């Protein structure tokens, strides 16, 4: 019987490849974590520290350094990191060199509620706890805090943050009641009665026209209240 050496060679080659793959897989699974790196992405990295993330991992998952890849469950580590109220998004992965990297995007506060409960309102309109590490310089929200009034405050803050002048100068939103909102400016003594959140573009367009004229006339200090509540007009109350 004639021996087909080609089949034999292919069989040995297949066995060798499977063996090498299995050996490589065994080494990969048993490779230990040699370093842990925490990276904060973006420019909003003031409310959470690397130390606090490491502490969170140790308390809820245990030490990850010197553990093998097979022992790690990356999805679980991500869930642990995401459980922190300051974290908006997180990605955890292991490099071929054995470095466990955690990339974190922190939440961004756009307003601070000062009431019976104190908390931030973030850029998604969700409640965000205050941080022990940093106090955000954002408009203060006071008055009658309800679910609806916070939704409206979020709408106002989003509009303010889209305008360079308003973002730099509005320091407070006071809620008199649902549908009646008042703005406080950084350098001016008057308050702005905004009314509701309807027609914000028209209201602020009218306000900016008033403000430019009042600056030109040097009359800003003459006013106590500037009202934008009425359609297509600015009504001012002098001191």
Token pair for residue 208? Answer: 């900016």
Q: Contact 128/85 with Cβ under 8 angstroms?
A: yes
4-35 in b/e burial notation, b at 16+ Cβ within 10 A?
eeeeeeeeeeeeeeeeeeeeeeeeeeeeebee
All CATH 3.10.20.310 domain ranges in the chain, comma separated: 35-106
Going residue by residue through the chain, which has 239 residues, state the pLDDT in tens, using 9 for 90 and above. 454 555 555 555 555 454 444 434 444 445 687 788 899 998 878 899 999 999 998 898 888 888 888 888 889 999 999 999 999 999 999 888 888 899 999 999 999 999 889 999 999 999 999 998 899 999 999 999 999 999 999 999 999 999 999 999 999 999 998 889 999 998 888 899 999 999 999 999 999 999 999 999 888 888 899 999 988 888 888 88
Q: What angle do CA 193, 195, 199 make, to 5 degrees?
A: 115
Distance CA(236)–CA(195), nearest Å, equals: 14
Work out the burial of residue 213: count CB atoms within 10 Å of its CB; fewer than 13 is exposed, 13-18 middle, 19 or more buried: exposed
Could you say which DSSP state residue 221 is in? Answer: G
What is the value of pTM for the model shown? 0.80
CATH topology of domain 109-238: Rossmann fold (3.40.50)
In this structure, whether the domain defined by 35-106 belongs to CATH 3.10.20.310 is answered with yes
Both tokens of 62, joined, read 């245990």
Residue limits of CATH 3.40.50.11690 in the chain: 109-238
């Amino acid at each position: 019987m004639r021996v087909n050496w080609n089949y034999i060679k292919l069989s040995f080659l297949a066995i060798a490849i499977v063996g090498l793959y299995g050996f490589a897989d065994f080494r990969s699974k048993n490779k230990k974590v040699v370093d842990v790196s925490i990276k904060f992405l973006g420019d909003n990295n003031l409310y959470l520290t690397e130390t606090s993330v490491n502490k969170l991992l140790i308390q809820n998952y245990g030490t990850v350094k010197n553990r093998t890849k097979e022992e790690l469950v990356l999805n679980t580590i991500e869930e642990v990191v995401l459980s922190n109220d300051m974290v908006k998004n997180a990605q955890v992965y292991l490099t071929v060199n054995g470095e466990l990297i955690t990339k974190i995007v922190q939440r961004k506060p756009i307003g601070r509620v000062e009431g019976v409960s104190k908390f931030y309102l973030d850029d998604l309109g969700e409640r965000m706890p205050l941080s022990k590490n940093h106090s955000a310089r954002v408009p203060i929200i006071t008055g009658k805090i309800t679910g609806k009034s916070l939704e409206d405050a979020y709408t106002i803050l989003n509009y303010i943050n889209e305008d360079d002048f308003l973002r730099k100068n509005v320091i407070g939103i006071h809620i008199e009641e649902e549908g009646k909102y008042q703005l406080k400016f950084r350098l001016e003594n008057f308050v702005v009665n905004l009314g509701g959140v309807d027609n914000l573009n028209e209201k602020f367009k009218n306000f900016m026209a008033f403000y430019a004229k009042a600056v030109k006339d040097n009359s800003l200090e003459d006013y106590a209240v500037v009202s934008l509540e009425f359609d297509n007009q600015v009504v001012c109350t002098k001191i």
